[in-house]
Amino acid sequence: MITIQSFGFRGAAFLACLLLLQSACTRKNSQPQQTSPNRVLTAPTGATVSAEPEDGQWTMPAKNYASTRFSGLEDINTGNVASLKMAWSFSTGINRGHEAAPIIANNLMFVVTPFPNIVYALDLTQPGAPVKWKYEPNPLSSAQGVACCDVVNRGGVYSNGKFFFNTLDNNTIALDAASGKEIWKTKVGDINLGESITMAPLVVKDKVLVGNSGGEFGVRGWLTALNAADGKIVWRAYHTGPDADVLIGPNFHPYYPQDQGKELGVTSWPSDAWKIGGGTMWGWISYDPEQNLIFYGTGNPGPWNPDQRPGDNKWTCGIFARDVDTGDARWFYQFSPHDLHDYDGINEQILMDMPVNGQMRKVLVRPERNGHMYVIDRTNGQVLSANPFAYITSSKGVDLNTGRLIYNDEKKPEVGQVVREICPAAPGAKDWQPSAFSPKTGLMYVPHQNLCMDSEGLEANYIAGTPYVGANVRMYAGPGGNRGEFLAWDPVKNEKVWAVPENFPVWSGALVTAGDVVFYGTMDGWFKALDARNGTLLWQFKCGSGIIGQPVAYRGPDGKEYIAILAGVGGWSGAIVAGALDPRDATAALGFVGAMADLPNATTRGGMLYVFALP
Amino acid sequence: MCLRFLSLCVLALFVAGCAKHEPAAIAVTTVHQIPRPAGVLRVCADPNNLPFSNQRGEGFENKIAELLAQDLGERVEYTWWAQRRGFFRNTLKAGACDVVMGVPSGFEMALTTRPYYRSTYVFLSRKDRRLNVTSFDDPLLRKLRIGVPIIGDDQSNAPPAHALTRRNIVDNVRGYTLYGDYSQHDPPARIVDAVAKGDIDLAIVWGPLAGYFARQSRVPLAVVPVSPEIDQPFLPFVFDISMGVRRGDQDLRDQVEQVLEKRRAEIDRILSDYRVPRVDQEKGASGV
């Protein structure tokens, strides 16, 4: 039995809360996101988000369709978080990067490990949360050889009695959440072609949404919808190629002229380069029930170098709005046309309504890899603003009339030429690590990195028997010398409110609660709680390994609020530890190792779940 | 001759350049000092990549590995892994095996032996087309349908693509990923099939791949070394190939080098059987 308490929001919301409380209690076994009446939470700044009533669970990595990663729980707050203690822990037994969010539903906690993608269900009703069931998908071991970067998994999702997740070797799997029994398993991609899956699926209505990874290997990116009941593929939208494949039809109305026209997914590439053009999808999807639209970004174009693929290379490095039932594209905006720097556009977008120039607008806010904080009208794809949230030299801003990113030609990397101080570096000002938004403070909490890179000459290399020379890329800390930063951003004022510099890139997600506490982890293993209003460090705990996971909050069967995080360093940034790379090989992991040579001194690998509560 | 020296210089520069950027202070070192099991030569190899190696032992690197093992008084044992990103990390550096049969000399991820052959990228076309393309500056390259291997490691690619782009030859160029479809045999060879089938007029590929599959092809194919050997700004098409052992494993490297020296004639014969185009054999200069 989940006890639900009132949320303690100020003002007249009390009655509404009682009503919501009642509705939450009466439908505790039904699917919350489908049946509940949403409420609107309004921040002091005027920004509002639509949110389901707080049920104490955490059924999807972003917590809700608006992707706020905001928990309405407030037992743990700025006044008492200093006494937070570890309640219990659980070892996953895996030594690779742990990027998943623990998922909590019906008093079970679900954990998906990196390859080999084992799922554990932990019984929260028992002392120490013992394993209730374990599911091993046994993915092909060759999947490890073809997967980019590290063999991470960003978690699963609970919906309507089922637990859904993806395996590195391209299977989407539905399990019976109570028993762990496999209900269906659908192969959606081909590992032999270089495809893999690392993202967490999103379930909207009766659809399970999944995209592929592997842009580095010349795959063609897509997002696909499976029927949640039986795993049958309902639609698939490619991100390069003919309109028919991209699901572009008469309802497609992009805001800017450069995105209007026929067959741009073919004509914005030389000859048939779109067939291996990348534009994969391994990040985050948000959903607006009112418009019945999903929003998600596409990865970088590949595998050609920029000068070998003249054109805008559509529909890579941009964002799509699609009808969730049919996959039909409604609008598209391209963050980085003709990408020069590996700026995948797969980051999260947070849906909110907020005043822009005195007018309430339905927007999505996206801290983008190219370093700009995009505020986009989610009804039509118009860019309302795009202010820098990080140090940028690779571009000179976004032209709000044309919507185009203004590249800095001096920072265009070219093979054989030395180009210094390209900022942000290839992982961008922010990579996949998701931000949070609090409707109480009105602030977004953005974990990100502060890295620049030099493309400086050539290095002998070797793939599948063929020798070649490639650009020798090195990354290093940007201005200030800190490689990471955790910042609070006011999307209405469009400015940074406070920021905490971090020595290493902040590669973990963020969580913010109604107790006005914001949580994140560092790559050297500190799990931190800050005051959401001013960034003051209130509590920290040293985990056994570096943190690149996603913190969550939930209410246990005992009525207490818990905070959970997976530690276990790895991923692209942590490959030097998880993959035991040689720190002398500065250009390994596409140059990331050079920036992380001291990480092995600061942490060791090992996947472990940590759960915290007040004593 | 001059160009060949230059090519060595270029490679030497890469090595020097890389060494220069080693981080200054490293407290944790990951050099593996792993004792080699007695009686076994542990080779890291791709199970599906002729003419180099495959699981049935049909590649020239398999044959040379047998020679090597004979002389070291050992038998060959393989660790199989697709030779793509992560290959060296997961095999040689992880200590799963001790020698990689072919790497570019001076390759950063291994300790390399003296080179045992030098090959070149080649123009590959059907003989019946009589194209006679020998240079990247041939105007015909603007009209032909050209295939090049692509790698897709960001900002890296095989040199033919760069040489063509520099000459503004883009629209008539088609990429064949070296990764290919790994469920098929020898995935990098699809570009050769495309020439034989007439999907493309000309391919520009690494010599050993072209030489071997041209020989296997039912359609007669012409294999012509590219020129220049080094294109502007610093783009070599000629590479010295060595064997690689783990960094720090000087002993094994020295032993392997002794065998390479002693068995040079047999190794040359194997390479010749597999039609590896050589550019190091004039005046008996093999293994410079």
Among B113, B1, B121, B153, CA closest to A458: B153
Residue pair B157/B165 in contact (Cβ under 8 Å)? The answer is no
For residues A20 and B33, the model is more confident at B33
Residues of A in contact with B150 (CB under 8 A): 218, 276, 303-304
Mean predicted confidence (pLDDT) in A478-497: 97
> pLDDT tens for residues A84-103?
999 999 999 999 999 999 99
The catalytically annotated residue of A195, A216, A339, A561 is A216
Return the H-helix or E-strand segment holding B222: strand B221-225
Residues of B in contact with A474 (CB under 8 A): 21
Closest Cβ–Cβ partner in A217, A455, A463 for B155: A455
Residues of chain B short of pLDDT 70, as ranges, are 1-34, 153-155, 282-288
Residue pair A464/B46 in contact (Cβ under 8 Å)? The answer is yes
Q: How many cross-chain Cβ pairs, A to B, lie less than 8 Å apart?
A: 227
Residues of B in contact with A467 (CB under 8 A): 104, 206, 239, 241
CA distance B131 to chain A (A): 22
pLDDT band of A147, cuts 50, 70, 90 = low
Residues of A in contact with B83 (CB under 8 A): 462-465
> pLDDT tens for residues A34-51?
444 577 888 888 899 987
**Does the distance separating the beta carbons of A218 and B175 come in below 8 Å?**
yes
Nearest CA in chain A to B149: A466
Q: How far apart (Å, rounded) are the C-alpha atoms in residues A132 and A111?
A: 12
Q: How far apart (Å, rounded) are the C-alpha atoms in residues A257 and A220?
A: 25
CA distance B23 to chain A (A): 6
Among A122, A230, A118, CA closest to A174: A230
Residues of A in contact with B173 (CB under 8 A): 270-271, 308
| pLDDT of A142 | 66
**Does the distance separating the beta carbons of B179 and A217 come in below 8 Å?**
yes
Coil, strand, or helix at residue A573?
A: helix
Among A121-125, A199-203, A569-573, B135-139, the least confident range: A569-573
| pLDDT of B26 | 34
What is the ipTM for the molecules in this complex?
Answer: 0.85
Residues 143-202 of A with CB under 8 A from B: 144-146, 148, 190-194
State yes or no: is A353 an active-site residue: no
Residue pair A351/A378 in contact (Cβ under 8 Å)? The answer is yes
**Does the distance separating the beta carbons of A455 and B165 come in below 8 Å?**
no
Q: How far apart (Å, rounded) are the C-alpha atoms in residues A432 and A429?
A: 10
Q: How far apart (Å, rounded) are the C-alpha atoms in residues A285 and A297?
A: 8
**Does the distance separating the beta carbons of B155 and A270 come in below 8 Å?**
no
Q: How far apart (Å, rounded) are the C-alpha atoms in residues B146 and B131?
A: 12
> pLDDT tens for residues A494-550?
999 999 999 999 999 999 999 999 999 999 999 999 999 999 999 999 999 999 999
Q: Which residue has the tokens 């007029």?
A: B201
Q: How far apart (Å, rounded) are the C-alpha atoms in residues B6 and A529?
A: 58
Residues of A in contact with B149 (CB under 8 A): 466
Q: What is the DSSP letter of A416?
A: T
Residue pair A583/B28 in contact (Cβ under 8 Å)? The answer is yes
Q: What is the DSSP letter of B39?
A: T
A193, A266, A462, A587, best to mutate vs chain B, most B CBs in 10 Å: A462
Task: Please state, as a whole number, how many other Cβ atoms lie within 10 Å of the Cβ of residue A410.
Answer: 11
State yes or no: is A138 an active-site residue: no
Nearest CA in chain B to A310: B170
Q: Which residue has the tokens 């092809």?
A: B217
| pLDDT of B24 | 34
The tokens describing A60, both together, are: 């999807």
pLDDT band of A128, cuts 50, 70, 90 = very high
Residues of B in contact with A582 (CB under 8 A): 30-31, 93, 109, 247
The catalytically annotated residue of A150, A169, A195, A342 is A342
Q: How far apart (Å, rounded) are the C-alpha atoms in residues A37 and A27?
A: 11
Alpha helices by DSSP H, listed for chain B, are: 2-20, 60-72, 87-90, 159-166, 190-197, 207-216, 250-262, 264-273
Q: How far apart (Å, rounded) are the C-alpha atoms in residues A458 and B18?
A: 9
- Computed on alpha carbons and rounded to an integer, the radius of gyration of chain B in Å comes to 19
Residue pair A507/A523 in contact (Cβ under 8 Å)? The answer is yes
State yes or no: is A582 an active-site residue: no
> Given CB atoms, is A420 within the 8 Å cutoff of chain B?
no
**Does the distance separating the beta carbons of B150 and A464 come in below 8 Å?**
no
CA distance A339 to chain B (A): 11
> pLDDT tens for residues A323-342?
999 999 999 999 999 999 98
Q: Which residue has the tokens 């539905």?
A: A174
Q: What's the angle, vertex CA B158, arms to CA B152 and CA B159, rounded to 5? A: 145
Residue pair A222/A197 in contact (Cβ under 8 Å)? The answer is no
Q: What's the angle, vertex CA A184, arms to CA A179 and CA A186, rounded to 5? A: 140
Beta strands (DSSP E) in A53-159 are 70-71, 85-91, 103-105, 108-112, 119-123, 131-135, 157-159
Which three-class secondary structure string do you get for A185-201?
A: EEECCCHHHCCECCCCC
Give me the sign of the Cα torsion angle B59, B64, B70, B74: negative
Residue pair A142/A191 in contact (Cβ under 8 Å)? The answer is yes
**Does the distance separating the beta carbons of A308 and B157 come in below 8 Å?**
yes
The CA–CA distances, whole Å, from B27 to A152, A583, A597 equal 27, 10, 10
CA distance A287 to chain B (A): 32
Amino acid identity at A175: L
**Does the distance separating the beta carbons of A305 and B155 come in below 8 Å?**
yes
